[in-house]
């Protein structure tokens, strides 16, 4: 027993040496039991009393009383002695945990323990789609308002972990601070300031649309702000992610070395859904990140029922929101428009960005648009983006014939537009030259007319001057004639 529970992180021998724990093993071999005369548990009461007084116990574990009755067939006596055992333990004032195996049509083999106990917990072990899951449910708890849902639980090297289905209330703190997605053009589409801190972002798209590249931008931006980022990867190893992101100019390894970024990679088939959830809880609590990436969350779905996967995502979203960390999920889209994922998780997130590939002129090009972003005015444009050696680059919207043009179709259209512009400029230049020539001819004619005008004006002036001279001469002759007559 000591060796078995040591694998769960418990040191029973240390507790025994400190007189805090007493273990009493009762060996019963069914083949050595002969049922005769009356039967009672007085011997068990004596051993329990000695053990309780020996260490001053406040708690007792009986695992399992069924072994005491393995060779006995008198059901009436068994039920009577079990009832007396429970009553005696209550009189001793100790908290008692008793384990029992399920019976045929009853919770326990004898069908009595669940009625005399104050609290009954049912533990179940299931295999779904090849993955093992454990569930726990509180059937009754006298004097207490208790949860009635099934709760997943795990047994690992740190003991038993029990997780609620989701938070009891929607009481997450809503921050008004905005943080960058790592792509300035995308931040501009998100109201010009990026996403809200502590919110959840879902990025969906078919294979090859650049989901991991954008997740790397988000992680890099968080680390640049000096924040810790936790990256859960289910399809690639840490080294592979680091190598691939180097091809687009993002050096994640420097953040890993500085312990700002932690990449956790594991195959989805390694555990059941609950084990993945507990593992995420544990690592988040250890690393205390301000940003969390799960890439892709849909990788978990084939290894559990869609209902369970949706519950897992809800629990993950609730848990991360409770830590005030910003969550970034990628998901594999179904169909050409990527608006449908393996399960409906889009309603759980605050911001939903869709990535698509469009086929034009024998090419597949990438575009994105924001389907929703709660609490902010966001762009409704469809934007083409490129994966370059300097990261993701969004191109300005280019419309042609009522549709967004991308790739070679856009290049061809832009080249045609440039040729049209050259032709327009040449035509404008020709027309300008003709108009200028016409203006020059008009100005030349105007100059001739102005010269003729000046000549005519001079001639008129000469005529007027000659006329004035004649008038003066005539007047002078007349004056001379008058004087000669008077003399």
Strand boundaries in 335-362, DSSP class E: 340-341, 351-360
Can you tell me the distance from the alpha carbon of 454 to that of 451, in angstroms, rounded to the nearest whole number?
A: 5
Phi-psi group of 231: left, alpha or beta (phi > 0 → left; psi -120 to 50 → alpha; rest → beta): beta
Domain ranges (residues) in the chain: 2-117, 181-397
How many whole angstroms separate alpha carbon 234 and alpha carbon 215? Answer: 13
pLDDT at 342: 47
What's the pLDDT score for residue 193?
86
Please answer whether residues 322 and 174 qualify as being in contact, where contact means their C-beta atoms are separated by less than 8 angstroms: no
Among candidate residues 384, 382, 373, the one with its CA nearest the CA of residue 209 = 384
How many whole angstroms separate alpha carbon 193 and alpha carbon 432? 48
**d(C-alpha 180, C-alpha 194), whole Å:** 5
Distance of CA 308 to the CA centre of its chain: 18
Query: Under a CB-based contact definition with an 8 Å cutoff, are residues 314 and 306 in contact?
Result: no
Write the CA distances from 468 to 262, 479, 481, integer angstroms: 113, 17, 20
DSSP structure string for 116-149: H-SEEEEEEEEEETTEEEEEEEEEEETTS----S
- Given this chain, do its domains 2-117 and 181-397 carry the same CATH topology? yes
Residue 406 CB coordination number (10 Å): 25
pLDDT in tens, the chain (487 residues): 777 778 777 888 888 888 888 888 776 655 555 555 566 667 777 888 888 888 888 898 888 776 666 555 666 777 777 778 888 888 888 888 888 777 666 677 666 667 778 888 888 887 766 666 778 888 888 888 887 777 777 777 777 777 665 554 566 677 888 999 999 999 999 988 899 998 989 998 888 888 999 999 999 999 999 999 999 998 899 999 999 999 999 999 999 999 999 999 988 777 767 677 777 887 888 889 999 999 888 777 655 455 555 666 777 778 888 888 999 999 887 655 555 554 566 677 889 999 988 877 777 888 898 999 998 889 888 888 889 999 999 987 665 555 565 566 666 666 677 777 788 888 888 888 889 889 988 998 999 898 898 998 888 888 888 888 888 888 887 777 777 777 5
Per DSSP, 320 falls in state H
Give the residue carrying structure tokens 């080249």: 415
CA-CA distances (angstroms) from residue 257 to 217, 222, 251, 264?
A: 17, 15, 11, 14
Sign of CA dihedral 282, 283, 287, 289: negative
**The CATH number, out of the four listed (3.40.50.880, 1.10.1380.10, 3.20.20.10, 3.40.50.300), of the domain defined by the range 181-397:** 3.40.50.300
Q: Could you give the CA distance from residue 289 to residue 325 in angstroms, rounded to a whole number?
A: 7
Handedness of CA 390, 396, 401, 404 (dihedral sign): positive
Pick among 1.10.3470.10, 3.40.50.2300, 3.40.50.300, 3.40.1180.10: CATH of 2-117: 3.40.50.300
Distance from first CA to last CA of the chain, Å, rounded? 176
- CA 69-70-72 angle, to 5 degrees, is 60
Residues whose CB is less than 8 angstroms from the CB of residue 64 and which lie 6 or more positions away in sequence, other chains included: 98, 99, 100, 101
Q: Which two tokens mark 292?
A: 């969390």
Preceding amide of 418 cis, omega within 30: no
The Cα 459–Cα 283 span in angstroms is: 110
- Give the long-range contacts of residues 25-32, CB within 8 A, separation 24 or more: 25/1, 26/67, 26/68, 28/67, 28/68, 28/70, 28/71, 30/70, 30/71
Q: Are 137 and 254 in contact (CB under 8 A)?
A: no
Quote the CA–CA distance of 425 and 310 in Å, as a whole number.
60
Neighbours of 302 (CB within 10 A): 14
H/E stretch holding 217 reads helix 211-224
**What is the model's pLDDT at position 31?**
56
Q: How far apart are CA 90 and CA 98, in angstroms?
A: 13
Other C-beta atoms lying within 10 Å of the C-beta of residue 295: 27
| Cβ 387 vs Cβ 438: under 8 Å | no
**Is the Cβ–Cβ distance between 355 and 392 less than 8 Å?**
no
Report DSSP state, residue 331: E
Q: Pairing between strand 195-196 and 178-179? A: antiparallel
Q: Please state the pTM of the whole predicted model.
A: 0.65
Rounded to whole angstroms, the Cα distance separating 18 from 46 reads 23
Distance CA 353, CA 48 (A): 63
């Amino acid at each position: 027993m000591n060796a078995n529970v040591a694998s769960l992180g418990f040191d029973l021998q240390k507790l025994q040496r400190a007189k805090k724990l007493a273990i009493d093993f009762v060996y019963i071999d069914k083949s050595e039991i002969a049922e005769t005369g009356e039967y009672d548990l007085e011997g068990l009461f004596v051993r329990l009393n000695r053990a309780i007084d020996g260490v001053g116990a406040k708690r007792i574990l009986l695992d399992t009383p069924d072994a005491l009755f393995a060779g006995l067939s008198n059901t009436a006596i068994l039920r009577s002695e079990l009832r007396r055992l429970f009553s005696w333990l209550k009189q001793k004032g100790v908290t008692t945990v008793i384990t029992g195996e399920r019976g045929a049509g009853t919770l326990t083999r004898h069908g009595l323990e669940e009625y005399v106990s104050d609290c009954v917990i049912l533990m179940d072990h299931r295999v779904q789609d090849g993955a093992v899951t454990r569930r726990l449910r509180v059937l009754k708890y006298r004097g207490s308002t208790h949860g009635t849902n099934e709760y997943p639980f795990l047994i690992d090297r740190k003991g038993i972990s029990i997780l609620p289905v989701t938070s009891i209330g929607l009481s997450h703190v809503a921050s008004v601070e905005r943080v960058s997605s790592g792509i300035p053009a995308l931040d501009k589409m998100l109201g010009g300031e990026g996403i809200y801190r502590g919110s959840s972002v879902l990025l969906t798209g078919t294979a090859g649309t650049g989901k991991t590249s954008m997740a790397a931008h988000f992680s890099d931006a968080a680390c640049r702000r000096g924040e810790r980022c936790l990256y859960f990867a289910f399809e690639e190893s840490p080294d592979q992610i680091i190598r691939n992101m180097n091809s687009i100019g993002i050096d994640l390894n420097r953040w890993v070395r500085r312990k700002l970024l932690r990449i956790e990679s594991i195959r989805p088939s390694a555990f059941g859904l609950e084990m993945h959830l507990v593992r995420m809880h544990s690592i988040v609590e250890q690393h205390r990140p301000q940003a969390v990436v799960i890439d892709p969350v849909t990788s978990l779905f084939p290894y559990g029922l869609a209902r369970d996967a949706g519950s897992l995502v809800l629990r993950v979203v609730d848990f991360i929101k409770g830590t005030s960390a910003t969550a970034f999920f990628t998901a594999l889209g179904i169909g050409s428009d990527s608006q449908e994922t393996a399960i409906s998780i889009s309603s759980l997130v605050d911001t939903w960005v869709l990535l698509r590939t469009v086929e034009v002129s024998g090419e597949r090009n990438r575009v994105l648009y924001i389907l929703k972003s709660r609490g902010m005015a966001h762009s409704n444009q469809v934007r083409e983006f490129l994966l370059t050696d300097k990261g993701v680059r969004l191109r300005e919207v280019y419309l042609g014939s009522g549709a967004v043009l991308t790739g070679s179709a856009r290049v061809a259209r832009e080249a045609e537009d440039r040729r049209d512009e050259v032709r327009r400029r040449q035509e404008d230049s020709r027309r300008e030259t003709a108009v200028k020539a016409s203006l020059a001819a008009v100005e030349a004619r105007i100059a001739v007319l102005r010269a003729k005008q000046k000549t005519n004006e001079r001639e008129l002036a000469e005529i007027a001057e000659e006329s004035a001279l004649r008038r003066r001469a005539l007047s002078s002759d007349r004056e001379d004639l008058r004087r000669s007559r008077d003399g």
